[in-house]
Amino acid sequence: MQIHVVKQGETINAIANTYRITAKAIIDANELEAPNNLVVGQALVIPIIGQFYFVQPGESLFTIANKFGLTYQELARINQIPVTMTLQVGLRLYIPPLPKREITSNAYVEPLGESVSETLINSATKNAPYLTYLAPFSYRVNRDGTLNAPPLDNFKQIAASNKAALMMVITNLEGAAFSTELGHIILTVQAVQNTMLDSIINVAKEVGFTDVHFDFEFLPKEDREAYNTFLRKAKERLAQANLLLSTALAPKTSATQKGILYEAHDYAAHGEIVDFVVLMTYEWGYSGGPPLAVSPINEVRKVVNYALTEMPANKIMLGQNLYGYDWTLPFQPGGNPARAVSPQRAIAIARENNVAIQYNTTAQAPFFTYTDKEGKKHEVWFEDARSIQAKFNLIKELKLRGISYWKLGLAFPQNWLLLEDNFTIKKLIE
């Protein structure tokens, strides 16, 4: 795959000619709603085998070949040019497909209400081929240890038909929020734990879950060791039932990080006990906060670097958002929350308001500002092909286990094309 950023005056046909493919191939791959009205700064995925590279000032066959893990002799042979040739700026070179590493992928899917929407069913059906796990969110623990199940509809059939395993997500949610009090009860009352673990194992066998995933948040800092002790107990019980154990971890950058999100999450202990973890490396920019990139690569890297000091890379799944936010300015704490938008919708907003998409190279994230019909200013941060490729590059560089998406339901076609182009997805189901 190739990533192309639309420049002023470019048309879909001109871009297609540059890469020697049809305009329809680009339109279909990117699910373009308005192919004749591209947005300046919009990132497109070009569906070709391998990619083209355009020579930059000061580059040579050697430097370019080294960038892609080739020898300069190979690069010259592939492009049928002399090895001694001086490269002109802008010369187009063909780079063959690079070897792909196998990774584990997961996506949470969160039905809201008593039933599963058609949008979620369609999203799960469309994207399950790219997943190791499909994770319905969530089984809620009651104060007596019993469970309230999410609506599952036909997620089991969708997963099975695409050889995706089911992940059983367990949370301390009460109402619309994670409950500190409920978390404390779960981690300190043995009778509640026993009832909960019995229920988990029975449901897992009945439904066909492969992994049990604890997402316990807003835990009291005093319960750090109690959580570790509980995980050891859970690991023993779940292993006897041939079930994997995983946890979701708040995005810490040190063992001593303060705050109710972080203090009870012991990276070293989780890395020792569980089969793998999901780092929740998103929500720097969030609905109730000021405009920021949702998962800026510089901040994500800090979390991963710390995690690697506490656990092996093959236990770490990188958390990744599939959405962005549209903030109304000026931001006021406690004011109206930002509106979640899909990457596709973000591009449409830029197009409708005739503004260019910019790219922050530090955060590796696209953004833009616009003024609505009522004269209110907005700032939008979202994900695109460039930002997701930056995360894939980090996974490859640090040899992480894989990626976990929060959450299905918002359209981001470029992500799935690039995921397949970069990696082979591990399947646990034959």
389 CB-near residues (< 8 Å, 6+ apart) = 3, 418, 422
| The pairing of beta strand 101-109 with beta strand 423-425 | parallel
Residues in the chain: 430
251 CB-near residues (< 8 Å, 6+ apart) = 279, 280, 281, 282, 299, 300, 303, 319
Under 8 Å between Cβ of 234 and 212: yes
Secondary element (H or E) of residue 47 = none
| The pairing of beta strand 377-381 with beta strand 324-328 | antiparallel
Q: Which two tokens stand for residue 374?
A: 């009522």
In the block, residue with structure tokens 């490269």: 87
The DSSP annotation for 183-250 comes to HHHHHH-HHHHHHHHHHHHHHHHHHTEEEEEEE--S--GGGHHHHHHHHHHHHHHHHHTT-EEEEEE-
Residue 361 zone, left/alpha/beta (φ > 0; ψ -120 to 50; rest): alpha
Which active-site residues does the annotation give? 217
| The pairing of beta strand 51-54 with beta strand 43-46 | unpaired
Q: Which two tokens stand for residue 194?
A: 């026993």
Nearest partner of 399 among 306, 330, 304, judged by Cα: 304
| The pairing of beta strand 209-215 with beta strand 165-171 | parallel
